[in-house]
Amino acid sequence: MEISINPGEIKNWDGSTLILGVFADDFEKQLGKLELPKGISLAARLKENNFHGKTGELFSCNFLESTPNKFILIGLGQPENLLLNDLRKAAAIGARASIGNSGKLGIILPWDLFTPESVIKATGEAVRLSLFEDNRFRSKPEPKVLPKSLEFFGITKSAEKYLREISPICAGVELARELVGAPPNKLTPSVLAEEAVSIASEYGLEVKILNRQECQERKMGAYLAVAQGSDLTPKFIHLTYRPKGEVKQRVALVGKGLTFDSGGYNLKVGAAQIEMMKFDMGGSAAVIGAARAIAELAPKDIEVHFIVAACENMVNGSAVHPGDIVHASNGKTIEINNTDAEGRLTLADALVYACELRPNAIVDLATLTGACVIALGDEIAGLWTTDDHLGEALINAANNSGEGIWRMPLKDSYKEGLKSMLADIKNTGPRAGGSITAGLFLKEFVDSKIPWAHIDIAGTVWTDKDRGIDPAGATGYGVRTLVNWICHFIKRS
């Protein structure tokens, strides 16, 4: 979808559909200021149809003889309450209502309440992402007519430079949604690795894939223990973005990549929703989606590593027994008291690997704990970090991109819950505070001199209900935050 700024007037425009946001109460006045084609009296139509301009209210009407011929009005409530997220939602509702019209789509919202940069990115992303649909697994997808382009009206032409990020970021989110949405028989660790290789060759990233034997040589006993109960071979994926010119800092992004999590011998039963566990590679999808976007955006001065220890958690005769003790690549021994706490085992070795690259910061994303879903629901990810500056930058990046995040504590005394009678640590603590002990477990595998943050996306990776900007299904959560962080919010030295 082509996106641009149109400095002209609606009455001279050749588009087919116009999205208009209006505040409650005085929309007559607001619409009066617009120069619409002759004969169009929107205010009268709105009144006739009892439209009040309440937040999210939608009204659309057609004027057969006019250009544009379809007007989509969206209520914005009271101006003093308007948030950037309300503009995102309005843009998404408008975009959905434009389906069926193949021409140009225009949009006018009260831009001047925010910076041009933030409104352009927020609403451009919202329009494109709300129109996403995954039809890869239908034999006869219903054909859908979508607008061919999007034009912003009423924004200064000089804001054009802010358009460039929309398409790479949305393509990254869409890639992440497709990776997460793909079922576990189609998206295996090997397929995920092939995806990474093809992204690397298409966008010019370095790529390294370690097979089982190479991981054994690196003594990644925690990761390989998870993989050993599956017929599918593990793949350790490492992509690198190198900027042209001098490198001033280096960061590593690590994503949990369980293409399926059965729970292992601690099998997921009852309400555990085993059939959803294809989404257990959501962290890796966010990291690979971000890799695609970053490669295209080519930020200066910063080298970025993307790391995924991909495998499946299954049961067979060689699967891990509950109670096994394994050796991670930093030499620590782990008693696996619960085979369903597998993500942290794979991340342990991935984090050790990331530390060896001596980055200035490490961020991991993982669908790590059901406890995080209980704490924060499906619109807010949990953030744990050892570094306040890193935490603040990530929170700002997430807020700016409309992704929910909330900082949670790494309460040291809870480490008590991970004490093992025999090994250095066990992989599972008590039920209470389960997402905190998971974070504390990961911390054991990160060099304390390297600022590190962990984002638990177990709730946000997926949405059962359609949220407008996020259609039901995989959300692609994390791509926008990561790309925003690297391109805008990271502290540059």
DSSP H helical segments within 183-313, as ranges?
A: 189-203, 212-217, 221-227, 282-297
Least spacing, CB of residue 342 vs ligand BES, in Å: 5
Least spacing, CB of residue 279 vs ligand BES, in Å: 7
Q: Please give the Cα distance from 261 to 226 (Å, whole number).
A: 10
Report if residue 120 touches ligand BES, rule: CB under 6 A.
Answer: no
Nearer to Mn ion, 171 or 232 (CB): 232
Per the document, the length of the chain is 493
Nearer to Mn ion, 386 or 437 (CB): 437
**Which residue matches tokens 């504590």?**
409
Q: Which of residues 209-268 bind ligand BES (CB under 6 A)?
A: 261
Question: Which of the following is catalytic: 88, 344, 426, 443?
Answer: 344
Residue from 428, 475, 481, 484 that binds ligand BES (CB under 6 A)?
428
Q: How far apart are the first and last CA of the chain?
A: 36
Q: In what order do the strands lie in the sheet with 325-327?
A: 325-327, 333-335, 425-426
Return residues touching Zn ion (CB under 5 A).
258, 261, 280, 343
Report if residue 364 touches ligand BES, rule: CB under 6 A.
Answer: no
Phi, psi of 277 (to 5 degrees): -75, 10
Report if residue 343 touches ligand BES, rule: CB under 6 A.
Answer: yes
Nearer to ligand BES, 295 or 320 (CB): 320
Report if residue 370 touches ligand BES, rule: CB under 6 A.
Answer: yes
Residue from 21, 106, 283, 434 that binds ligand BES (CB under 6 A)?
434
- The footprint of ligand BES on this chain (CB under 6 A) covers a number of residues equal to 16
Cβ(78)–Cβ(24) under 8 Å? yes
Distance from chain centroid for Cα 326 = 32
Q: 457: Cβ–Cβ under 8 A, 6 or more apart, which residues?
A: 282, 283, 286, 365, 366, 367, 381, 477, 478
| Range 183-188 contact pairs with CB under 8 angstroms and sequence separation of 24 or more | 183/137, 183/278, 184/259, 184/260, 184/277, 184/278, 184/312, 186/137, 187/259, 187/278, 187/281, 188/232, 188/259, 188/312
Active site residue 256: no
Least spacing, CB of residue 264 vs Mn ion, in Å: 8
Residue from 55, 60, 233, 338 that binds ligand BES (CB under 6 A)?
338
Question: Which of the following is catalytic: 268, 278, 292, 480?
Answer: 268
At residue 254, the 3 state secondary structure works out as strand
Q: Vertex 224, ends 221 and 226: CA angle to 5°?
A: 115
Dig out the tokens for 241 from the structure. 């973005």
Cβ(243)–Cβ(302) under 8 Å? yes
| Range 110-115 contact pairs with CB under 8 angstroms and sequence separation of 24 or more | 110/21, 110/23, 110/76, 110/79, 110/82, 111/152, 111/154, 111/155, 113/79, 113/82, 114/84, 114/87
Least spacing, CB of residue 370 vs Mn ion, in Å: 9
Least spacing, CB of residue 57 vs ligand BES, in Å: 34
Q: Could you tell which of Zn ion, ligand BES, Mn ion, none binds residue 373, using a CB distance below 5 to 8 A set by kind?
A: ligand BES
Least spacing, CB of residue 209 vs Mn ion, in Å: 24
Greatest Cα pair distance in the chain: 82
Segment contacting ligand BES by CB under 6 A, of 17-25, 319-327, 362-370, 409-417: 362-370
Segment contacting ligand BES by CB under 6 A, of 48-56, 98-106, 222-230, 363-371: 363-371
Site string for ligand BES, 276-315 (x = CB under 6 A): ----x-----------------------------------
Return residues touching Mn ion (CB under 5 A).
261, 340, 342
Report if residue 342 touches ligand BES, rule: CB under 6 A.
Answer: yes
Active site residue 358: no
Report if residue 347 touches ligand BES, rule: CB under 6 A.
Answer: no
Nearer to Mn ion, 101 or 435 (CB): 435
Report if residue 118 touches ligand BES, rule: CB under 6 A.
Answer: no
Per DSSP, 488 falls in state I
**Chain residues that interact with ligand BES, rule: CB under 6 A:** 261, 280, 338, 340-343, 367-371, 373, 428, 434, 458
**Catalytic annotation, residues:** 268, 344
